[in-house]
């Protein structure tokens, strides 16, 4: 490890001539049929070369794009100097899950979206470098865990172990509080474990990051459904917690509301991915979980976000003959990460954009056998700012499918809200929380992540977790509500 800073002596105009380095990837034809990680990471040589491209802007706009304010320039300087452990420790000052965010953040909209290099060419591969140093750190076993303040004796409960809950727990434990994370499922990690597939985010990575938090002193309890096993009021009154952070996500699947959606073979993406990832259906019979019979079948996934992309690529890996992505807008409006769309195309996913299912048709045994679809065109922008899809008259056609997966969004699970008197929600059922302090209408209760914003991103949920931790710290020290 280097202790003296090594400066990049290359003039900026020469740095800008270096091409963005590409991460090594599994070959598309091989990876389309296995669950191993697609991206293989940077080598130290690739990382050094990529870090050389940074032009060290005096006002780094990359940092402004990061919801948890990672000190991007500082960590890139450390990569350039070959101090990978120092670089990882620098990221950990603001982000407890660097190996995760390096893999799944929509960097093109965040840090890399703000990179000046992107104005005339390709932005710095900040996400790839973040992943590289986080993986390097894990491989050495020398994780630079931050120092923990002396015990305050205050107890904080966190409901949900997704990125919002984990990030809040990571900050509060450093302040010396006793932090308990309660998780309804038998595995920790939220969407990182049950939603995002192994080929994009290996579960060992998530487990390692959670183990680091355990080492910092965070206490985790699985199979505890808050609102059923114990209520929020009981956490205060019987368990002696002073503050509670609700980070329960938005895991309730939405459907299209079209005829035939009840047929056998039509699933929510949530169920499809949870069975495959969390219950390891893809390793049947080693894991005794019924597998979806996608082998040599025609599968359509409806939607255009990360969830849709994960489901359709999963179906291919489960052996689908044809894997269709049916999306009612065009490529341009697709909300999925750019890299996932590129990978999906390379793997042979058949994109049917400007297309919408209007009915699922069943066979005599009640199994789906086709989707009646309609072509769409783009009209005026709607409330989301994206152009509204409008049906094209007389354009209906029938697409034979044996499996259909609906990935058109999720909403709030109502359990905590309905069992916590005095907790205000909006008309969609999400918890209302102050934008700055994340305080809810109920004393001592804070909320953040998808349960407040609706389905968003890992890093935004982590940003909310950090904000909540700062506000909880204020509350615990001042006692003022």
Ligand X SMILES: Cc1cc2nc3c(=O)[nH]c(=O)nc-3n(C[C@H](O)[C@H](O)[C@H](O)COP(=O)(O)OP(=O)(O)OC[C@H]3O[C@@H](n4cnc5c(N)ncnc54)[C@H](O)[C@@H]3O)c2cc1C
Which of positions 307-326 make contact with ligand X (CB under 6 A)?
Answer: 307, 310
Q: Is the Cβ of residue 265 or residue 303 nearer to ligand X in the bound state?
A: 303
**Side-by-side strand order, sheet with 178-182:** 219-221, 178-182, 155-159, 243-246, 445-447
Q: Please, what is the minimum distance in Å from the beta carbon of residue 165 to ligand X?
A: 6
CA dist 39 and 198 (Å) reads: 11
In this structure, what DSSP letter does residue 331 have? G
273 lines the binding site for ligand X (CB under 6 A): yes
| Contact present, 148 and 133 (Cβ < 8 Å) | no
In this structure, how many other beta carbons lie within 10 angstroms of the beta carbon of residue 468?
31
Identify the residue among 72, 91, 117, 185 touching ligand X (CB under 6 A): 185
Least separation in angstroms between CB 270 and ligand X:
7
The least distance separating ligand X from the CB of residue 301, rounded to whole angstroms, comes to 11
Distance CA 367, CA 404 (A): 10
Alpha helices (H) in 348-457, listed in sequence order: 415-418, 450-453
Angle (nearest 5°) at CA 406 between 447 and 403: 145
What are the Cα distances from residue 26, in Å, to 199, 343, 437? Answer: 10, 10, 44
CA neighbor of 128 nearest in space, from 49, 196, 68, 206: 49
Q: Which of residues 144-183 bind ligand X (CB under 6 A)?
A: 159-165, 182-183
User: Is the separation of the CB atoms in 52 and 10 below 8 Å?
Assistant: yes
Please identify, using beta-carbon distances, which residue of 32 and 452 lies nearer to ligand X.
452
In the shown chain, the binding pattern of residues 81 to 120 toward ligand X, with x for contact by CB under 6 A and - for none, equals -----------------------xxx--------------
Is residue 213 a contact point for ligand X (CB under 6 A)?
no
- The CB-of-109 to ligand X minimum distance in angstroms stands at 10
Q: How far apart are CA 168 and CA 190, in angstroms?
A: 14
Q: Does 376 bind ligand X (CB under 6 A)?
A: no
CB 194, min distance to ligand X, A = 7
Rounded CA separation 321/295 (Å): 7
Question: Least distance to ligand X from the beta carbon of 249, Å?
Answer: 2
Query: Stretches 136-144, 364-372, 421-429, 449-457: which one binds ligand X (CB under 6 A)?
Result: 449-457
Which range of residues in 123-131, 242-250, 378-386, 398-406 is near ligand X by CB under 6 A? 242-250
If one asks whether residue 249 binds ligand X (CB under 6 A), the answer comes out as: yes
Near ligand X by CB under 6 A: residue from 251, 265, 304, 335:
251
Nearer to ligand X, 160 or 389 (CB): 160
Cβ atoms of 52 and 46 within 8 Å: the answer is no
CB of 142 to ligand X, least distance (A): 27
Nearest-approach distance from CB 413 to ligand X, in angstroms: 5
- Which residue's CB is nearer to ligand X, number 164 or number 326? 164
Stretch that binds ligand X, among 145-153, 327-335, 436-444, 450-458 (CB under 6 A): 450-458
Q: Give the max Cα distance, the chain.
A: 74
Both tokens of residue 414? 């109502």
What lies within 8 Å, CB to CB, of 227 at 6+ separation is 415, 416, 418, 419, 420
Residue of 110, 306, 355, 356 interacting with ligand X (CB under 6 A): 306
The residues in 409-448 that bind ligand X, with binding defined as CB under 6 A, are 413, 415-416
Give the residue with the Cβ less far from ligand X, 123 or 189: 189
Q: Where are the alpha helices (DSSP H) in 113-240?
A: 117-120, 126-140, 163-174, 191-194, 203-216, 232-237
* Minimum gap (Å) between residue 90 Cβ and ligand X: 21
Closer CB to ligand X, 29 or 223, in the complex: 223
Residue 226 lies near ligand X (rule: CB under 6 A)? yes
Please count the residues of this chain forming the interface with ligand X, following the rule CB under 6 A: 42
Neighbours of 14 (CB within 10 A): 11
Rule CB under 6 A: say whether 252 interacts with ligand X: no
- Residue span 396-415 as binding mask against ligand X, x where in contact by CB under 6 A, dash where not: -----------------x-x
Query: Closest separation between CB of residue 208 and ligand X, Å?
Result: 17
To the nearest 10 degrees (0 to 180), the angle between helices 84-92 and 126-140 is: 110
**248 counts as binding ligand X under rule CB under 6 A:** yes
The span from the CA of 323 to the CA of 330, in Å, is 18
Torsion over CA of 404, 410, 414 and 417, rounded to 10 degrees?
170
Rule CB under 6 A: choose which of 41, 60, 67, 195 binds ligand X. 195
* Interface ranges with ligand X (CB under 6 A): 104-106, 159-165, 182-185, 190-191, 195-196, 225-227, 247-249, 251, 273, 306-307, 310, 337, 413, 415-416, 449-451, 455-459, 461
């Amino acid at each position: 490890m280097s202790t003296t800073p090594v400066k990049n002596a290359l003039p900026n105009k020469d740095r800008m001539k270096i091409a963005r380095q590409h991460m090594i990837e599994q070959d598309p034809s091989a990876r389309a049929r296995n669950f191993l990680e697609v991206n293989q990471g940077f080598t130290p040589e690739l990382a050094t070369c990529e870090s050389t491209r940074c032009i060290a802007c005096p006002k780094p706009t990359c940092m402004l794009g990061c919801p948890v304010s990672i000190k991007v320039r500082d960590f890139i300087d450390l990569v350039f100097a070959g101090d990978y452990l120092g670089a990882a420790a620098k990221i950990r000052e603001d982000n407890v899950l660097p190996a995760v965010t390096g893999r799944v953040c929509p960097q093109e909209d965040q840090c890399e979206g703000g990179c000046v290099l992107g104005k005339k060419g390709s932005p710095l591969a900040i996400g790839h470098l973040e992943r590289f140093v986080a993986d390097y750190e894990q491989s050495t076993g020398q994780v630079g865990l931050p120092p923990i303040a002396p015990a305050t004796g205050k107890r904080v409960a966190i409901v949900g172990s997704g990125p919002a809950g984990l990030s809040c727990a990571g900050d509060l434990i450093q302040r010396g509080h006793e932090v308990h994370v309660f998780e309804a499922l038998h595995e920790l990690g939220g969407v990182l474990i049950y939603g995002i597939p192994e080929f994009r985010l290996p579960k060992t990575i998530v487990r390692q990051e959670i183990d680091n938090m355990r080492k910092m002193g965070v206490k985790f309890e699985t199979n505890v459904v808050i609102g059923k096993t114990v209520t929020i009021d009981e956490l205060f009154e019987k368990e002696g917690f002073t503050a509670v952070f609700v980070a329960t996500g938005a895991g309730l699947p939405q459907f299209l509301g079209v005829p035939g959606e009840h047929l056998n073979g039509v699933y929510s993406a949530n169920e499809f991915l949870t069975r495959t990832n969390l219950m390891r259906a893809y390793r049947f019979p080693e894991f005794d979980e019924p597998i979806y019979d996608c082998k040599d079948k025609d599968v359509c996934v409806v939607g255009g976000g990360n969830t849709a992309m994960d489901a359709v690529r999963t179906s291919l890996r489960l052996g689908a003959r044809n894997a269709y992505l049916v999306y009612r807008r065009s490529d341009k409006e697709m909300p999925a990460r750019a890299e996932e769309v590129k990978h999906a195309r390379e793997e042979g996913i058949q994109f049917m954009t400007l297309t919408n299912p209007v009915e699922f048709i069943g066979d005599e045994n009640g199994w789906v056998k086709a989707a009646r679809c309609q072509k769409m065109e783009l009209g005026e922008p709607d409330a989301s700012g994206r152009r509204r899809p409008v049906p094209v008259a007389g354009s209906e056609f029938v697409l034979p499918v044996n499996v259909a997966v609906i990935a058109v969004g999720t909403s709030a699970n109502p359990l905590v809200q309905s069992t916590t008197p005095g907790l205000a929600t909006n008309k969609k059922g999400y918890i209302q929380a102050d934008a700055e302090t994340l305080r809810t209408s109920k004393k001592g209760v804070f909320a953040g992540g998808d349960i407040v914003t609706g389905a968003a991103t890992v890093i935004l949920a982590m940003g909310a977790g950090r904000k909540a931790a700062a506000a909880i710290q204020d509350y615990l020290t001042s006692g003022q509500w």
